[in-house]
Amino acid sequence: MPDGNFLLIAVLLLVLAAEFVNGWTDSPNAIATVVSTRVLSPSLAVLMAAVLNIVGALVTGTAVAETIGKGIVRPEIISLPVVAAAMLTILVWSITAWFYGIPTSESHELIAGLTGAGLAATGPSVLLWEGWQKVLIGLAFSTILGFSLSMAVMVSLYWLLRRNRPSSIRRAFGRLQILSAAFMAFSHGSNDGQKFMGVFTLALVLGGAMTKFAVPWWVMLLCGAVMGLGTASGGWRIIRTMGFKLTKLEPVNGFAAETSSALTILLASHFGIPLSTTHTITTSIIGVGATKRFSAVRWGVAGNIIVAWIITFPVCGVLGYLFTWILRAIL
C-alpha cells in the first residue's frame, strides 16, 4: 500500500487532469455558436471562454460542488481509490469521444463514474437519493427546458424583428452574440467548474487533509484556473460538431441558443443542481434550428450525439466499477 500522502497527491492530480479535460472537451460547447457564426475568431472565443469559465466558477457559490462532493455517494464509507477510479473514467471516456468529435457530458461521466466506483467498493448503500433527485432534475433542465426555452426565445425574436432587414439583424446580433457567448461561458463555469471543486474537496476529506466538507477558496481558484487552461487549449473538433454540423446558425440564432442555455444553467446552479452543459447547449441549438423548419436540423448528427448521451451513464458506470477493482488489486 503506498504512503497515504502519496496516494492523496496522486488522486488530487487525477482530479485536476479531469478538470483540464473538462475545459478542453466540454467548454468548447460554450463558444461553438459564436465561432460558427463568425462573430468571433476561434482564438478570441477560446480566450474569452477561458477567462469567464474561471470567473463563473469563482463567484457563484458552492451549491453544485456540495451536491457532487457529498450528495451522490456517501463520503463516510468510500475511499480515495473510489475517487481515482471516477477520474480515470472521465479521462478515458472524454478523450475517446473527443477523438471522434462527439460532445459528451463530463457531468454524467463524473456522476456515473463515482456511482460505479462506489458500488464496487461498498455496494448499493453508498448511493444517496437526495443527490440523485437533483441529477434527474438536471436531466429535465438540460433537455426539456433547454429545448423549449430556446424555441420560445427564437420565436419571440422572429416576431419582434419581422419588419427588420436581414442585414441589420445580422449586424446587431453580431454584437449582441458576443455578450450571449460570454454569458454562456460564465454559466458553464458556474456549474461545471463547481463539480470538480466538490470532488477535489472530497479527496482532501478522504485523505485526512480536512476534517469536514467545505470548499476552500484556494480549491475554487485552482480548479477554475485549470479548467480555464483546458479551455484555452482548444477543442476544435467539438466546436465543429456543435457549431457547424447540427444546423446552420446566424448570429440571431446563436444569441437565442446561448442566452437560453446560460439562463437554464444558472438557474440549476442556484439550486445546486448538477446538469450537463453539453446537453443544454445542444438541445438549445436543436430548438433554435427547429423553429426554421424541422428539416433544418441535421437529425443524423443529433442522433449520434444523443446515442453518446444514452450510453455515457452505463459505460462510465461500468468503467468506474472496473477501475475500482483494478486499483484495489494494485494498491
* pLDDT single digits (tens) 211-252: 899 989 899 889 888 887 887 776 666 666 665 566 777 889
CA distance 266 to 18: 22
Task: Judge whether 277 and 192 are in contact, CB under 8 Å.
Answer: yes
Q: Encode pLDDT of 120-177 as tens digits.
A: 999 999 999 888 999 989 988 888 998 999 999 999 999 999 889 888 998 899 889 8
C-beta of residue 71 within 8 angstroms of C-beta of residue 201:
no
Cα→Cα distances 257→24, 216, 266, Å? 21, 34, 14
CA distance 317 to 29: 24
CA-based nearest residue to 72, from 225, 272, 252: 272
68-93 tens-digit pLDDT:
998 999 998 899 999 999 999 999 99
Question: 122 near 77, Cβ under 8 Å?
Answer: yes
CA 95 – CA 97 distance, rounded (Å)? 5
* Residue whose C-alpha cell is 473527443: 98
The parent domain of residue 268 ranges over 4-330
User: What is the DSSP secondary-structure string of 151-204?
Assistant: HHHHHHHHHHTTTS-HHHHHHHHHHHHHHHHHHHHHHHIIIIIHHHHHHHHHHH
The tally of domains found in the chain comes to 1
pTM comes to 0.86
